[in-house]
Amino acid sequence: MSHPMSLLLDKGVLRRCLEGLLNALQGKRITQEQEEALTLVASFPPSGLFASTRAVNTASRHAPPILFEQLSLSLGVFFPTRYHSRWARRLRRGFSFEREDAYQLALGAFGRDEANSLLGIDALVTFDRRLMARFNVNRVAIEDSLYQMTR
């Protein structure tokens, strides 16, 4: 049985969503990144959008409660599983990812939803260009390392 596509949103994407909602309510211009984040959240099935507990907590502290509540209706929380820390450590040491970037990438491979019905996600959504560049340069080696760890 196949599952619908699942996405993990990083804190930057959540922040752009909340900023975009606030700008729209205040009649201010919405940036391209804010528009892209809002479009993604509005057009994607809520059962497939997730964020880490860290990202959700950060977003909830820096947004008006009513806006955060609106966003959280479209968002599930993803939790680390058994091998998450090991994989994050390998990403930091082997590929020089920043701690938070390694955490997010590891959560994508070794994270689960609240119902324990989903392990891992299909894609991490980020606006972090440095993370994207580092991942793309090392993609094959990262995949090999993940394969070695899980076989």
CA separation for the pair 115, 118 (Å, rounded): 8
Confidence of residue 3 (pLDDT cuts 50, 70, 90): low
For 102-142, write each residue's pLDDT tens digit. Answer: 999 999 999 999 999 999 999 999 999 999 999 999 999 99
Confidence of residue 73 (pLDDT cuts 50, 70, 90): confident
For 77-92, write each residue's pLDDT tens digit. Answer: 999 999 999 999 999 9
Helix, strand, coil percent values for the chain (each to nearest 5) = 60, 10, 25
Beta bridge partner(s), residue 10: none
Minimal CA–CA distance to 54: which of 73, 77, 21?
Answer: 77
Residues in the chain: 151
pLDDT of residue 1: 45
Minimal CA–CA distance to 10: which of 64, 56, 47?
Answer: 56
CA separation for the pair 142, 31 (Å, rounded): 33
- Please give the DSSP secondary-structure letter assigned to residue 27: T
pLDDT of residue 45: 87
